[in-house]
Structure 1
Amino acid sequence: MEIGYGIGRRVSAWAVHAFTGSGAVLGFLALFAAIDGYAAACLGWLGLALVVDGIDGTLARKASVGDVLPQVDGATLDLVIDYLNYVVVPAVFLYRFGLFPEGFGLVGAAWVLLTSLYCFSRTDMKSGDAFFVGFPAIWNVVALHLWLLGWDPWANAAIALVLGVLTFTDVKFLHPFRVRRLMTLNIAAAALWLLGSTALVLTHPERSGWALAAWVAGSLWYAAVSAWRTMRHATP
């Protein structure tokens, strides 16, 4: 028997979808900031999009969006926006700001775009305990790190090469808002990383001591939990 929902529930559900959809607008603004040469502004828009992506799932579950609006697949909507913000805009950023070696910018951007397609199309993208399986195409985070660190473009290319290859492996990566084990600490580390990242972008090229410490601590926690999950013997 079909269950009907009142206008209030439907409005709430559409509001959540609209909130999710705002990520596409933020990605559009980030793209134009990159094209115009404003690195910090691009990362700022991507940061806002990251926040939207981090909390829209919780809002969708609270509003029972899947039940109220079954004709709209929120997961597909999320993936479309994620490919823009996590892959396309970062690929443009890496190319536009010379983070790949001279003459290899288009090759590097193509590598990011193509390997990410297979990440997004994996049927086993998530493990049973909500870890990502393989590199989850978080190129927005990678672009931020490479820009802030200012390493040699060849080192950046090597990192991109390795991460792209990891797309096709069973290496586990933490999803701080979905993994239940140590969730409080995972979210705290993500918040610490976001706070440090924001401060470092706003003050670039200066590096505040506390911001750098927060950024490094959050990054190390993410890497450590991901490595721990990869190495422990558990069901996929």
Structure 2
Amino acid sequence: MQRLAAWSVHVFTASGLLAGFMGLLAVTEGDYRGAMWWILVSLVIDGVDGTFARMARVQEVLPDVSGKTIDYVIDFFTYAILPAYLFYMAVDLAYLPRLLCAFAMLLSAAIYYGLDGMVSADGRHFVGFPVLWNMVVYVLVFVLPDLPAWATVGLVVAFAIMHFLPILFAYPSRGGRWWGLTIAATVAFIGSAIMNVYYYPEPSPLWRVVCVVATVYYAVLAAVDTLQGGGTQVRGESPGGV
């Protein structure tokens, strides 16, 4: 029974790839709203599978099956490849800058995944901007679709570069400075994502403001943590998912 529960958790984790594939099909069909729904589904699966894994003690029951490796494979598809494809298909840019932006997302994500540890030594921060291209593309397509081309390209380049800078980005589930506010900002951001996707293709003024405020909060928190972080910028172990 324990092995069945452990295998069920791995299958649940792997189902995130199925959600990602459905998102890929939606992008191909021009259904960008549907694609974002599937990206959000994959995000939920990635957010709760670790809890299920601990409950089922998968590392003890199935020591020869690496849930972390399964997670990395799925995460790279749903956090990098699929968002890059959605960006390429949905954003109103000329061909060359659109292609180069997609390349920047993929190359920076691939190299970031190869780093020896992606979180700080205290376990509460990502070091460098984590591979969250799904959220960046969500903002560019569903929240700020009217940005000028130079701003869109500039944001993509900036986030790609930030993968490799010693900036501390909060790991919300692990506590840290202003943790209550961080959880509230996370809930607000996810709620705004649901509502902005629902109202697409016309962004909701209210939920656009909620998204922007939550994003600014994360930027301020990153700046404060980086300036006052001290030795926590040393890379530690890799997280179970990004």
SS across alignment from 1:103? helix
Q: Which residue of 2 aligns with 1:158?
A: 154
Does the alignment pair 1:129 with 2:122? yes
CA offset at residue 222 of structure 1?
2.2
Match of 2:104 among 96, 108, 111: 111
**What is the alpha-carbon root mean square deviation over aligned residues?**
1.8
Distance in 1 between the 2:191 and 2:107 partners? Answer: 31
Q: What corresponds to 1:143 in structure 2?
A: 137
- Which deviations, in whole Å up to 9, do the C-alpha atoms of 1:115-155 show, x marking residues without a partner? 11111111131102331111212100000111120112221
Aligned length: 229
How far is 1:211 from its partner?
A: 2.5
SS at match of 1:66: helix
Q: Distance in 2 between matches of 1:25 and 1:87?
A: 15
Aligned to 1:203: 199
Q: Where does the alignment leave 5 or more consecutive residues of structure 1 unmatched?
A: 1-7
Of 196-205 and 222-231, more deviation after overlay is shown by 222-231
Q: Aligned to 1:178, which of 148, 159, 174?
A: 174
**Alignment check: 8 A CA contact 2:170 2:176 kept:** no
Distance (whole Å) between structure 1 residues aligned to residue 67 and residue 177 of structure 2: 25
Give, in whole Å, the separation in 2 of the partners of 1:181 and 1:63. 31
Which of 62, 65, 79 aligns to 2:58? It is 65
- Structure 2: which 5+ residue stretches go unaligned? 234-242
With the length of structure 2 as denominator, give the TM-score of the two structures: 0.88
Distance 1:207 1:103, change over 3 A: closer
Indicate the residue corresponding to 2:240 in structure 1: none
For 1:207 and 1:158, the matched residues in 2 are separated by 22
For residues 217 and 9 of structure 2, the distance between their equivalents in structure 1, rounded to whole angstroms, comes to 30
**TM-score, normalization by structure 1:** 0.90
Instruction: Determine whether 1:31 maps to 2:27.
Output: no
The 2-side partners of 1:203 and 1:108 are apart by 26
What secondary structure is seen at the aligned counterpart in 1 of 2:173? coil
Measure, in 1, the Cα distance between the counterparts of 2:128 and 2:94: 26
CA distance in 1, matches of 2:179, 2:52: 17
Q: Which residue of 2 aligns with 1:221?
A: 217
Identical columns (%): 34
2:229 counterpart SS class: coil
What amino acid maps onto 1:205 in structure 2?
P
1:84 pairs with 2:84: no
Structure with bigger RCO (C-alpha 8 Å, 6+ apart)? 2
Please tell me the residue identity of whatever aligns with 1:138.
L
